[in-house]
Amino acid sequence: MKLIFAQGNPGPRYARTRHNTGIATIEAFAAAHDAQWRDMDKFRARITEVLVDSEKVMLVQPLSFYNETGLTARLLIDYYKLDPASDVLVIHDDLALPFGTLRIRGKGSDAGNNGIKSLNTHIGEQYQRLRVGIWNEQRDLMDDADFVLGTFNKEEHDKLTSDIVPKAVELIETFISDTLQTTSHKL
């Protein structure tokens, strides 16, 4: 079984923010597989399951806020007896990467990302990450919180939906088939 874990904040208020890029990606993957989401309070998450080439795949959107998602991951990993290093892919926005950059990493520090800090605290640093770059020049004019909780402009939103999310969905497929490699893509 594989666990695809999207970083983001719950609720419609945050739906189109930069911080919810992970959720936008996992929702596109779920839609491509006609998956139906359900809230599972015992895991503090919205969850759906799909079958991809006979591999059971659990898609997860934590119902906690971005900076507190590690507990949800820990609950699921313990319940399903998963190995984070081989069974878990976390999708999250990355303030340090230019918009349109996708980067795969197999482990690492939080680099100032509080959601990753929470995950590292609860499950360690050994898990696959799909980092989606959100940085643009506007970032230099505001603090981190205002920027990540802001929305994409129309041009960025269009590129996100037409190029970035579809490429990220392809990378999810390679993770499921155990062929995901550490790499970087600029779209």
- Residues labelled as active-site residues: 19
Cβ proximity of 84 and 126 under 8 Å:
yes
Phi, psi of 131 (to 5 degrees): -95, 130
Strand order in the sheet with 2-6: 38-40, 45-52, 55-62, 2-6, 88-98, 128-135, 101-105, 184-186
CA–CA–CA angle 87, 92, 94 (5° rounding): 135
